[in-house]
Structure 1
Amino acid sequence: MQTLQTTSLRIRDNQLWILDQQALPQKTIWCPTPGVADLVEHIKTLRVRGAPLIGLSASLLLALLAENGMAKAELASSLEILRAARPTAVNLMNNLDRMKLALAQDNYVTALTFEALRLVEEDRALCDKIAAHGAQLIAPGSRLLTHCNTGGLATAGVGTALGVISRGWQDGRVEKVWVDETRPLLQGGRLTAWELGELGVPYRLICDSMAASLMAQKQVDAIWVGADRIAANGDVANKIGTYSLAVLAHFHGIPFYVAAPHTTLDPACPNGAAIPIEQRAETEVTGVAGSFGDVRWAPDDAQVYNPAFDVTPAALIAGWVLDTGVVTAAQVEAGVFQPAR
Structure 2
Amino acid sequence: MRTIDWVDDAIEIIDQTALPDRTTVLRLSTVETVVDAIRSLAVRGAPALGVAGALGVALAARLHHDEPQRLADAVERLRTARPTAVNLARGVDRAAARLAESPSAVLAEAVALRDEEEAASVAMARLGADLLGQLCPPRCRLLTHCNTGALATVTGGTALGVVVELHRRGGLESVIASETRPLLQGARLTAWELDRAGVDFRVAVDGAGPFLMARGRVDAVVVGADRICANGDTINKIGTYAHALGARRAGLPFVVVAPESTVDPATATGAQVEIEDRGSAEVVSFAAARTTPAGAGAVNPAFDVTPADLVTAVVTDRRVIRLDRGEQI
Q: Same fold (TM over 0.5)?
A: yes
Aligned-pair CA distance for 1:325: 1.2
Q: 2:10 matched to which residue of 1?
A: 15
The CA deviation string for residues 85-125 of structure 1, in whole angstroms up to 9 with x for no partner, is 11100011111221122113xx3212101101100110011
Q: 1:51 matched to which residue of 2?
A: 46
The question of 1:308 aligning with 2:294 is answered: no
Task: State which of 69, 72, 81 in structure 2 corresponds to 1:76.
Answer: 72
Task: State which of 83, 88, 94 in structure 2 corresponds to 1:87.
Answer: 83
Alpha-carbon separation, structure 1, partners of 2:7 and 2:317: 30
Task: State which of 34, 37, 41 in structure 2 corresponds to 1:42.
Answer: 37
The question of 1:108 aligning with 2:118 is answered: no
Code of the aligned partner of 2:244: A
Percent identity (aligned)? 46
Code of the aligned partner of 2:195: G
**Alignment check: 8 A CA contact 1:72 1:103 kept:** no
Of 27-36 and 304-313, the range deviating more from structure 2: 27-36
Task: Report SS of the residue matched to 1:11.
Answer: strand
**Alignment check: 8 A CA contact 2:124 2:158 kept:** yes
The question of 1:215 aligning with 2:213 is answered: yes
Residue pairs, 1:50-199, within 5 angstroms: 50-68=45-63, 70-71=65-66, 73=68, 74-104=70-100, 107-138=101-132, 139-199=137-197
Aligned-pair CA distance for 1:72: 5.8
Aligned-pair CA distance for 1:322: 0.6
TM-score under structure 2 normalisation? 0.95
Code of the aligned partner of 1:33: L
Task: Report SS of the residue matched to 2:289.
Answer: strand
Q: Which runs of 4+ in 1 moved over 4 A?
A: none
Alpha-carbon separation, structure 2, partners of 1:98 and 1:77: 16
Code of the aligned partner of 1:297: T
Q: Indicate the RMSD between aligned Cα atoms, in angstroms.
A: 1.4
Structure 1: any 5+ residue segments left out of the alignment? none
Q: 1:231 matched to which residue of 2?
A: 229
Code of the aligned partner of 2:77: I
Aligned-pair CA distance for 1:62: 1.9
TM-score under structure 1 normalisation? 0.92
Task: Report SS of the residue matched to 1:153.
Answer: helix
**Alignment check: 8 A CA contact 2:64 2:71 kept:** no
Alpha-carbon separation, structure 2, partners of 1:12 and 1:228: 26
Alignment size in residue pairs = 324
**Alignment check: 8 A CA contact 2:313 2:324 kept:** no
Aligned-pair CA distance for 1:212: 2.0
Code of the aligned partner of 1:133: L
**Alignment check: 8 A CA contact 2:52 2:88 kept:** no
Aligned-pair CA distance for 1:269: 0.5
Of 140-149 and 27-36, the range deviating more from structure 2: 27-36
Alpha-carbon separation, structure 2, partners of 1:15 and 1:99: 16
The CA deviation string for residues 33-90 of structure 1, in whole angstroms up to 9 with x for no partner, is 1222211111111111001111101211221332345336233321111110111000
Code of the aligned partner of 2:179: E
